[in-house]
Structure 1
Amino acid sequence: MRGSASLPAAPRPGTERTPVVAASDPRAPGGDDRSNTAIITRTKPRTKRPSLYRVLLLNDDYTPMEFVVHVVERFFNKSHEDAYQIMMHVHHNGVGECGVFTYEVAETKVTQVMDFARKHQHPLQCVMEKK
């Protein structure tokens, strides 16, 4: 078509077009009319959600139920009723989930629980698994 300018393609998702005035643009201070406006496309980095991990308590025949309730309340910020329900689930099913966290948080909680159990001479096992 005569006299029509082609339109630039629409930017891809995650990009934006920012007009930049060249130094030789007449609109720039001290510029001349030898250059046009340039377009720079900036790509926004896409972030990925971190993987989540389940923190689990394993049943054993030696750790007192009251101690397990105390651990769940202390390290997982559960109410006494919720901690009791988790402890009973562990007792009846052999394993129970205390929470879901990012890798670093889950790893820290497992270490804290295991250290606390050893300090009090209980064989309680706490593990994490990818959700």
Structure 2
Amino acid sequence: MGRTPFLSNAGVTTKPKPVEETHTRHLPPYNVILENDDDHSMQFVVEVLCKALSVAVERAVAFMLEAHESGRAVVWTGPKEVAELKLEQIQTFHEVRQSDGKKLGPVGCTIEPAPGP
């Protein structure tokens, strides 16, 4: 029976493959900003925040008061796509002013990149 001769790798050198470094690129977080709003009632703004962000009433009141007193409040921070969704959810709510029946637009809200560390 024929045997396959043993081939020696002696004298054969192979270059090691270079190690590829992988870097995970983290996307910057985005803030959802509630803007001060003199058109909508404070109660309506609190209700919108509770529904759109699933936060407790106490937290929604704190956000609303911060926006009322300082002009704006960061109400949520996270990935850009989710921030866009939160913004859209907030903007789906509209209030009808009781004094004159006027339908008001959405609560003032924007998104922007969160400041770096």
- Percent identity, please: 27
Matched, 1:121 2:100: no
Matched, 1:72 2:55: no
Pick the aligned partner of 2:7 from 32, 35, 53.
32
Distance (Å, rounded) in 1 between the aligned partners of 2:45 and 2:78:
20
Aligned length: 102
Normalising by structure 2, we get a TM-score of 0.73
Counterpart mapping for 1:1-80 below 5 A = 32-34=7-9, 35-36=12-13, 38-80=15-57
CA 1:54 to 1:31, structure 2 compared with 1: closer, same or farther past 3 Å? farther
Higher Rg: 1
Unaligned runs of 5+ in 1: 1-29
Unaligned runs of 5+ in 2: 97-102
Normalising by structure 1, we get a TM-score of 0.66
CA contact (8 A) 1:62 1:123 kept: no
Stretches of 4+ aligned residues off by more than 3 angstroms: 117-123
CA contact (8 A) 1:60 1:123 kept: no
CA RMSD of aligned residues (A): 2.4
